[in-house]
Copies of this chain bind each other. A is one copy, B any other.
């Protein structure tokens, strides 16, 4: 069975937009922002990573401006958070878990799209990581928090893992759909496990 790669990228991308939108909205609620602040932060968290990806690839206007479903997914996420954030809270650490899922999804779609545009594997991996961390970094900067990618131990590494799996899987000729799912899952699991288990990475010795 053939899998339509562009459709696969768009599908996973839209899920990434939705969950990153939830993470942005949840952060806005935690900062006691009003309904418009929730929507702005949902939009920033969910669309910035893909816009950076598309601008760097020269794929302008970016997908978020060409395909109305992106905006719809982002706004829907903001609305869901505004209405249902108490339910989200009960699920545990919602920003972290949603952010981890968005991280994996965007790492994979960013890397897949970069390969489709003819970038070399290493550059495609870098672009995947950038797609994955861009929206969350902007989200955190906008509320004056140091971005998660710098505060947390295993973050960029989780995105890196997802992107590397895409490149290696493609090289080995595995089916794109399976590779994408494995990549997303690996990045997500590594990120969530690292938080749950308190894994830490080495620091430079400080005399």
- Say whether chain A's binding surface is mostly helix, strand, loop, or mixed: helix
Task: Known contacts A143-B150, A146-B143; decide if A61 and B58 are in contact (CB<8 Å).
Answer: yes
* Distance in angstroms between the alpha carbons of A202 and B50 in the assembled complex: 30
Contact of A65 (CB < 8 Å), options: B51, B65, B127, B154: B127
Residues of chain A from 79 to 134 with CB closer than 8 A to chain B in the complex: 81-82, 85-86, 114, 117, 119-120, 122-123, 126-127, 133
* Distance in angstroms between the alpha carbons of A202 and B65 in the assembled complex: 28
- Find the B residue at minimum CB distance from A89: B207
Contact of A35 (CB < 8 Å), options: B34, B60, B68, B202: B202
Contact present for B201 and A35 (CB under 8 Å): yes
Give A193-207 as 1s and 0s: 1 = Cβ < 8 Å from B's Cβ atoms: 000000011111111
Residues of chain A from 30 to 47 with CB closer than 8 A to chain B in the complex: 31-41
Give A59-84 as 1s and 0s: 1 = Cβ < 8 Å from B's Cβ atoms: 01110111010010000000001100
Contact present for B86 and A207 (CB under 8 Å): yes
* Distance in angstroms between the alpha carbons of A119 and B61 in the assembled complex: 8
Contact of A204 (CB < 8 Å), options: B29, B40, B117, B206: B29
Shortest beta-carbon distance from A162 to chain B in Å: 15
Q: Chain A residues in contact with chain B, CB under 8 A?
A: 28-29, 31-41, 51, 55-58, 60-62, 64-66, 68, 71, 81-82, 85-86, 114, 117, 119-120, 122-123, 126-127, 133, 137, 141-147, 149-150, 153-157, 200-207
Known contacts A57-B61, A58-B61, A85-B204; 6 additional CB pairs below 8 A are: A34-B201, A58-B58, A61-B119, A71-B122, A71-B126, A142-B150
